[in-house]
């Protein structure tokens, strides 16, 4: 049961990360920015330490590498069983990448989720990710 919960957390983390990077440009182009800014001002975002933001950026960078590494293999899976086995392996590697950065999946998800609504946090996180990719 613990493995199922852990796998679900990893899947959620991946989905949130994907949504985060797909939605960020669309949100920036939205014509309804005034309303979005008002909503953001009313929502309190947790204050994350620089170390936690850095660890999240490092974990995200590793997760991206894992996804890229397995993308072709996953798309060429012969059947759903093979795809499920591969997904399980990917989820384990993603969980390990997060934990190797001294974070829990929950901590990682919390920062990624907060970055979706906090422009300053999102910018800081993206800057650190870009810096690591240089």
The answer to whether 16 touches 109, Cβ cutoff 8 Å, is yes
Name the helix (H) or strand (E) containing 53: helix 50-75
pLDDT digits (tens, 9 = 90+) for 38-68: 555 445 668 899 999 999 999 999 999 999 9
Tell if the pTM clears 0.85, that is, is over it: no
Share of the chain above pLDDT 70, in %: 66
Per-residue confidence band for 134, with pLDDT thresholds at 50, 70 and 90: confident
Select from 16, 28, 38, 2 the least CA-distant residue to 114. Answer: 16
- 16 with 95: CB under 8 angstroms? no
Rounded distance between C-alpha atoms, residue 76 and residue 24, angstroms = 29
């Amino acid at each position: 049961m613990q493995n199922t919960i852990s796998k679900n957390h990893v899947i959620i983390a991946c989905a949130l990360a994907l949504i985060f990077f797909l939605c960020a440009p669309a949100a920036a182009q939205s014509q309804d920015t005034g309303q979005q800014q008002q909503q953001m001002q009313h929502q309190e975002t947790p204050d994350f330490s620089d170390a936690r933001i850095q660890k999240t950026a490092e974990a995200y960078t590793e997760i991206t590498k894992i996804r890229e590494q397995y993308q072709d293999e996953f798309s060429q899976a012969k059947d759903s069983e093979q795809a499920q086995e591969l997904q399980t392996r990917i989820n384990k590697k993603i969980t390990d990448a997060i934990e190797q950065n001294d974070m829990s999946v929950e901590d990682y998800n919390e920062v990624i989720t907060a970055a979706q609504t906090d422009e300053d946090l999102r910018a800081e996180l993206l800057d650190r990710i870009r810096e690591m990719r240089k």
